[in-house]
Structure 1
Amino acid sequence: MNKIISAHPVGAGLKIFQNDPEIKIHDDVLYIPRIPGPHDSNYGIYDSYGRLVQTAGPRRGWPNFSLGQSQSSSISPSSSYPRATENSYFYGGHIGTHFGHFLTETLPRFWCAPHWYLNKKIICHSGDTIEKLFSVSWIKEIFEMIGLVKEQFIIFDRPTTVISLLIPGASFEENHFSHRQFAEFCNKLGRKYAIDLGISDPIFLSREKFKSAMRTIEGEEEITSILRNKGFRIVYPETLSIREQMGLFCSDRLTSGFVGSAFHNSIFCSSPRGLALCYGNSYSTNFWLMDQVNDANIQYFSTPTLLLKNSPRVGVPAEFTVDNPMDVANLVIDYYEEKSVLKKENEKINYGKKEGPYLIKTKFNSFLQIDRQLGKIHAGSGVGPRIHKIFAYVFDSQWIELFTLGGDVLSMDQLDSVSDTLNFKMQISQNEKTFSLKHPVTSRFVSTTPDGVVECNREYARAWEQFLLISANQN
């Protein structure tokens, strides 16, 4: 069997909040509708100055960005535009028919207490009509669970002025943050509406009957055949009702499968347990964010012998094939039987033999340092009142701790950690003269570029990922 490799979320700036999102009322805003199609930069909620109301639009990632929307209105707000008939509305965000994005983009708007929205009309944006949205059974059912019906929703078909619009902050933002309230809200829905499948055997969620526009997996039917013979129940999520899907993780049994939107159902169950097979060594940070606020115990692994056969692009799904289905099935079986010994490197340094302090020299004869304005690590040879060198201690010739003498809070591009010390695993090169810095959580290497950019996003350690230790006492 191939070596078992854990998969890691790759992203930076991920944030977990214990407090509730803000709820704000915006007066005299301009609603510009969305037109059908994947790209429309004109739509959104704009204030009386013509500026995009940031909390009203879909946003993603870090550095944070609006999803295709213009920061300034394409038309100047004017009292000449039609005025909405109600004095006050609730903003329900963007609504689409993709299951995963509905759970991560639309549902997070409705975390607040029902009294905020039950007595109001709900304005939303969509590339579809209200009729089409509510013809999708699971959209209709989820809204009914929170007390909402089709007649409460409004999509204006032209620019419209709204006197007062209540905009709840999102409790989850894709690839960026999650509030604990999002998990509490979804857990409450799960406790009230989820249907237990009545299955005590371990479950494998199969995609083999799902017509995905994102990816196909050749050989999955052989995996499910092996697992079925070993006592696993094979479940096809798209054949279940929404209430049955909400209950997929609401049990002590193991729920496994190829990672995808079905795994977002874990948010409806407190402390879910599962195993997710990934399409490489990384997976979407959306799953990580949900797991963190939901106290989940879901492990993510790179799928053994999984190969990409084509070059996916817009309109062309990724085509994967499993070269050895038995290896994949054995990973799932061994994990369930707790026979796999999976070594998990500790995020914290094992404080043994301590050496240093050192400076860290790059391939380009520059040194790691910061400008105190931001505290972000870069490579350079500059001097000045704001420039502070990065120092390092080495522990047991295995771990390295980065810091400044002034105790600055450090950050790095493509690294989620922000702290006055940053810890990495040292990987010594074959010539034993240089080393690379490997992050213990993401398994990504720190890299420098000729122009001084330092980021932690490389899958392999090559020339630009090599460093030298220089005694701080000699420099």
Structure 2
Amino acid sequence: MADVEMHILGSQPKIRSARKVRKTIPHLYIHELADIIYADGILYSPRAKCALIDSFRSFGEALTPRLYYGPDTRLRSLGRGFYVPENVLPATEVTVGANQVFMPCFTSYPVYGHWLLEALTSLWAHAHVQHLAGNVPVRLLLSPMANVPDYMKLFAEPFGITDYDFYYPSRRMRLERIFIPTKSYMHMAYVSEIAKKMWQHVVNYYLPDATMDPVEKIYLSRRHIKTRRHENQEEVESFFEQQGFTVIESQNLSLANQICLFAHASRIVGPVGSAAHNVVFSQNPQQLKTLFFGPEDYTSFGAMAVIEQAYGRKAYFVQGSVRTGERRSWHVPLQEVQMAYEQWTAE
């Protein structure tokens, strides 16, 4: 893989390299493990006395990964992806025997974009695990959450996975058998051909149900999203409407209609967020041209750049201000957006 480039447009155009990018995509395989403890979103091996590297991760303000069993129990890194609890491991509440086989379906954050990219693409292994397990039901182990969003079930449906296959875990339990697949998509690192095929399968399944007509140019609005708020989004939206873009709020559309819009659009612009990741549904990926903008300290520019490269496109961005306040709001000057748009259209 060549270096992944992020083309920053505007008054000070520059090219940056995305961090954490793998130079090769690993072979995909499945680990079968026995006697694993699940505790608050972490998978832990009592035998190896360490947490498993495919466990749930969160990121602090310094953007350094930290793993945890709960609000007070942290893990200490041993290096090379291995971690041990700093305090005593919480007692398990229940043991699940070999009559049920588990497979994790985790993501860094339980939100639409991360689930589409990280969790959905882990389902490549589901049919293989079911074959290995024989007649034993394979349950998809989710991150702990109060309510499971409908989109998680909708994304799994094309692969023959029903609500029964999801396992909503108690806070702590001991599992006799679990299968952990390697990732066909790794956040900010690589996109495999298997991941692309899975996204395409979702398109093939839902596109016939779309009720909207395709549009050529779409703008992704975050006007009603409360977190990471784009402060001057109204004037930016107005500018792009004047350029012939259709403003959409994808969270208000059915999955079939979202897929329809992203499948056929030739130009997509807007602030980076979950909706932007729908570019993986494009049916003309090499002809698609995108321009995304977000706060200066937003690390997921790198994630979009990796996706863009995987589909043979250049990754164009506009950087705004650093995020401020509890909801991490930010702004990008309209003049900067206009300048970047002129550069983008001239490419």
TM-score band (shorter)?
A: 0.7 to 0.9
Cα distance in 1, alignment partners of residues 56 and 329 from structure 2: 32
TM-score by length of 2: 0.75
Provide the C-alpha distance between the structure 2 equivalents of 1:31 and 1:217, rounded to a whole number of angstroms: 40
Of the three residues 81, 84, 95, the one matched with 1:83 is 95
Give me the whole-angstrom Cα distance separating, in 2, the residues matched to 1:236 and 1:123: 30
Shift of 1:77: 10
- Specify which of 118, 121, 146 is matched with residue 105 of structure 1: 118
Of the three residues 164, 179, 200, the one matched with 2:177 is 164
Q: In the TM superposition, what are the counterparts of 1:330-349 in structure 2 within 5 Å? A: 331-332=340-341, 335=344, 338=345, 340=346
| 1:212 counterpart = 2:226 | yes
Cα distance, 1:170 vs structure 2: 2.0
Cα pair distance change 1:49/1:258, threshold 3 Å: closer
Indicate the residue corresponding to 1:299 in structure 2: 315
- Give the alignment partner of residue 327 of structure 2, picking from 290, 300, 317: 317
Using the alignment, how far apart are the partners of 1:332 and 1:206 within structure 2?
A: 17
Point out the structure with the larger strand share: 1
Alignment partner of 2:337 out of 328, 335, 338: 328
1:93 equivalenced with 2:105 (yes/no) = yes
Contact 2:102 2:178 in 1 (8 A): yes
Q: Deviations over 1:396-423 (max 9, x none)?
A: xxxxxxxxxxxxxxxxxxxxxxxxxxxx
Q: Is the 8 A contact 1:5 1:301 kept in 2?
A: no
Report the alpha carbon displacement of residue 101 of structure 1 after superposing the two structures with TM. 2.2
1:280 to 282, 289, 296: 296
State the SS of the aligned residue for 2:290: strand
1:197–1:8 Cα change, 3 Å: farther
CA contact (8 A) 1:140 1:149 kept: yes
Which residue of structure 1 aligns with residue 166 of structure 2? 153
* CA positional deviation for 1:27: 1.6
**1:243 aligned residue (252, 256, 259):** 256
Q: Quickly say closer, same or farther: Cα 1:67–1:181, change in 2 above 3 A.
A: farther
Superposition map of 1:413-452 within 5 A:
none
* Correspondence list, 1:2-13, <5 A: 3=11, 5-6=13-14, 8=16, 10-11=18-19, 13=20
Partner of 1:202: 217
Change (3 A) 1:289 1:166: same
Shift of 1:329: 4.2
* Cα pair distance change 1:263/1:291, threshold 3 Å: same
Label 1:82 to 1:167 Cα distance change in 2 as closer, same or farther (>3 A): same
**Unaligned stretches of 5+ in structure 1?**
35-42, 343-475
Q: Offset at 1:246? A: 3.0
Q: Is the 8 A contact 2:105 2:123 kept in 1?
A: no
In 1, the alpha carbon distance for the partners of 2:102 and 2:279 equals 28
Tell me the distance in 2 between the aligned counterparts of 1:113 and 1:52: 22
Q: Higher relative contact order at CA 8 Å, sep ≥6: structure 1 or structure 2? A: 2
* Structure possessing the higher radius of gyration over alpha carbons: 1
RMSD: 3.5
CA distance in structure 2 between the aligned counterparts of 1:51 and 1:331, rounded to whole angstroms: 48
Partners of 1:103 and 1:114 in 2: CA distance: 19
| Whole-angstrom CA distance in 2 between matches of 1:127 and 1:288 | 30
Q: Secondary structure of 1:27's partner? A: strand
SS across alignment from 2:330: strand
Inter-CA distance 2–83: structure 2 relative to 1 (3 Å threshold): closer
Map 1:215-234; keep pairs closer than 5 Å.
215-218=229-232, 220-234=233-247
Q: Following the alignment from structure 1 to structure 2, what is the Cα–Cα distance between the partners of residues 185 and 20?
A: 17
Measured after TM superposition, the shift of residue 229 of structure 1 is 3.1
Q: Which amino acid aligns with 1:45?
A: Y
Do the aligned partners of residues 333 and 204 (structure 1) sit closer, same or farther apart at CA in structure 2, a change above 3 Å counting?
A: farther
Question: C-alpha displacement at 1:286, in angstroms?
Answer: 1.5
Contact 2:185 / 2:191 at 8 angstroms: preserved in 1? yes
Matched, 1:191 2:214: no
Amino acid at match of 1:53: L
Q: Which residue of 2 aligns with 1:48?
A: 47
TM superposition score normalised by structure 1: 0.56
Distance 1:177 1:200, change over 3 A: closer
Contact 2:221 2:270 in 1 (8 A): yes
**3-state secondary structure, aligned to 1:185:** helix
Structure 1 pair 149–16 and aligned structure 2 pair: CA distance change class (3 A): farther
Structure 1 residue 114 corresponds to structure 2 residue 127: yes
1 CA distance for matches of 2:265 and 2:332?
29
Contact 2:35 2:177 in 1 (8 A): yes
Q: Aligned partners of 2:176, 2:194: CA distance in 1, in Å?
A: 29
- What number of residue pairs does the alignment pair up? 312
Instruction: Measure the CA separation in 1 of the matches of 2:164 and 2:178.
Output: 18
Query: What SS does the aligned partner of 1:170 have?
Result: coil
2:266 pairs with 1:253: yes
Is the CA contact (8 Å cut-off) linking 2:129 and 2:138 kept in structure 1?
A: no
Following superposition, the deviation at residue 243 of structure 1 comes to 2.5
Between the two proteins, what is the percent identity of the paired residues?
A: 17
1:378-457 alignment runs, 5 A limit? none
